[in-house]
Amino acid sequence: MEDKRHLSKVEYKPDIQGTAHIKDFIPGIIINGVLPILIWSILKQAIGLSDFIALVATGIPSIISILIGIIRHKHIDFLAGFALFAIVGSLLLSTLSGYGKLYLLRDLLLTAPIGLIIIASLPLSRPFMYYIVRYLMAAHDGKRLAYFKIQWQCSPDVRSKVYLYSFIWGPGLLLEAGVRVYLLFTLDITHFLAISPIVSYSFYGFLIFLCVIVRKMGISIIKKKRSR
């Protein structure tokens, strides 16, 4: 009961709720979009290195970004673990098959499995989206983490939104992965490197927009209930 009273006082604190802004996407766009195509253009088209070497080099910015995050937080969180798995897995696929283009599957080996896990975990008391939302809202902040746990335990509305986010992101990530697989095998490498990030961030932006709509609808319903 005490937790519920505490929750009712701070449920709408903006520093806890958090929102996505365009500026939040800028580092990802540079690391996953701008730098890879620059590296490919320089190493393949200007210097003339092999496709495989140039493609492997396009993943260096992502690897550096992940390693910086690990060093900064002094541990590997689950998203960094997924990203490393995707990079290593795609590198093994391309090496064993001799088809360097498969290395570009590194992002798909991240988003597609996460989408599948999100959907498969829906029957659980704490779906996989719970851990994603907790990470995005609390990250490594102990106070935010404790607050989010209270929200989950005491607020049916928070639990409902997490499940709704699952229905949005699970199929959405699978659809995004399917579109990018189609592009990978229909476009040349240069065009794929240029178009793929646009497709991905367009998908992510739309999915975030849907989540914002769901969140605002939930807050509106809660306020109406309280005003009665």
- Quickly state the pLDDT bin for 22 (edges 50, 70, 90): low
The pLDDT score that the predictor gives to residue 169 is 94
Residue 64 carries which side chain, given as an amino acid letter?
I
Question: Does the structure show a pLDDT above 90 at 119?
Answer: yes
Poorest-pLDDT segment among 14-23, 60-69, 120-129, 212-221: 14-23
The pLDDT score that the predictor gives to residue 16 is 39
Report the percent of the chain where pLDDT is more than 70.
81
Best-predicted range by mean pLDDT (13-27, 86-100, 106-120, 140-154): 106-120
The pLDDT score that the predictor gives to residue 176 is 93
Total domain count, the chain: 1
Q: Which residue has the higher pLDDT, 178 or 24?
A: 178
Rounded to an integer, the average pLDDT of 187-202 is 88
User: Terminus-to-terminus CA distance in the chain, angstroms?
Assistant: 21
Which distant-in-sequence residues (6+ apart) come within 8 Å of 103 by Cβ? Answer: 52, 55, 56, 58, 59, 90, 91, 93, 94
Range of the domain at 79: 2-227
